[in-house]
Amino acid sequence: MKVLVTGGAGFLGSHLCERLLNLGHDVLCVDNYFTGSKRNVAHLLSNSGFELMRHDVTFPLYVEVDQIFNLACPASPVHYQHDPVQTTKTSVHGAINMLGLAKRVGARILQASTSEVYGDPEVHPQPESYWGKVNPIGFRSCYDEGKRCAETLFFDYYRQHNLDIKVVRIFNTYGPGMHPNDGRVVSNFIVQALTGQPITIYGDGAQTRSFCYRDDLIEVMLRMMDTENGFTGPINIGNPNEFTMLELANLVIELTNSKSKLQFDPLPADDPKQRQPDISLAKDKLSWEPTTQLRDGLTKTISYFDGLISSGQYKPQ
């Protein structure tokens, strides 16, 4: 098939492109390189089935494809808060443009939504039936509400135009290929530990996250796209094993043999206290659950970041 991946030069998008090529598909990778990088897909350029296009999804795109994976949007707070208006436009206008394309060519389209649609949840763990607790005017709202609106658009196109949609809600994901300056907790802790800086913990470190390794996440996204029974989602994809920030920091220090000390800073506004997916639906509908343990995934990710730092590719900000 001919498959379009928006945000295809990003952390997850580049690995998705690689998997799709390995499955024998032709892949059109679209990215405006705000957070993505040509370096992430440079090894794919020699593949005759791969095409790279610089494009911003807030503008219409006219191509012929069979499937669309819509991953375009900065996903870390430091990046999506840099230009919050553009972040909202990417989620909302980008969804409208990609849905319009899917409608025109009759393509199946998958939306990479997020656990942030649940906000600071009052239900734990979070099932897909939970509507969330989101601040609509906060610093994180450009991303949270943008993704919520994108889901609305997907289901309105499904109901109004009978479009073939799939919606996945991605929980915290990590692995080789992450942006070293994306401000996410895994990349922050690893870079700080490898460079001997204090490891920054916000609040008391008791807040929790659930970390899913990159390869596990790409696998379930592919399974979701290939479902033929009319199942639309939304469906949670992520690792249900929950860790506190203190536990993660101490594990990173152990795996890197770092001398870094812990530094406690004030908690950012609207930072969720808990985040853990209920993946019962993914187990039932897709026969999927993650297989990579946090220690194993972190070891591979640390090796990747160590290579960036030792080769001089990492530039502190």
Task: Report the CATH number at residue 219.
Answer: 3.40.50.720
Domain containing 137 equals: 2-173+212-240+276-291
- CA triplet 99, 17, 182: central angle to 5 degrees? 85
Q: Which long-range contacts (CB under 8 A, 24 or more apart) does 59-63 make?
A: 59/97, 60/97, 60/100, 60/101, 61/4, 61/30, 61/97, 61/98, 61/101, 62/101, 63/4, 63/28, 63/101, 63/105
Please provide residue 277's backbone torsions phi and psi, each rounded to the nearest 5 degrees: -80, 140
The label of the residue with tokens 């590719």 reads: 313
> How many structural domains is the chain composed of?
1
pLDDT at residue 78, rounded to an integer: 80
Task: Decide if 189 is inside a domain.
Answer: no
- Do 166 and 108 form a contact (C-beta atoms < 8 A)? yes
- Residues noted as catalytic: 143
- pLDDT at residue 275, as a whole number: 83
300 within a domain of the structure (yes/no): no
The pLDDT value given to residue 268: 78
In a domain, 269, yes or no: no
Residue keyed to tokens 């060519």:
105
pLDDT score, position 47: 98
Give the type of residue at 249.
Answer: A
Rounded distance between C-alpha atoms, residue 138 and residue 118, angstroms: 14
Residue 264 lies in a domain: no
Token pair, residue 61, equals 């795109």
pLDDT at position 317: 64
| CB neighbours of residue 162 within 10 Å | 9
Whether 259 is in a domain gets the answer no
In a domain, 168, yes or no: yes
Residues of the chain with pLDDT under 70: 76, 270, 317
Alpha carbon separation from 313 to 35, 175, 193, 259, 307 (Å, rounded): 16, 17, 17, 23, 8
| pTM reported for the whole predicted model | 0.93
Please check whether residue 39 lies inside any domain of the structure: yes
Within a domain: residue 255?
Answer: no
The mean predicted confidence, pLDDT, of the chain is 94
Dist CA 306 CA 214 (whole Å): 18
One-letter amino acid at 27 equals V
* Residue 312 confidence (pLDDT): 80
pLDDT score recorded for residue 229:
87
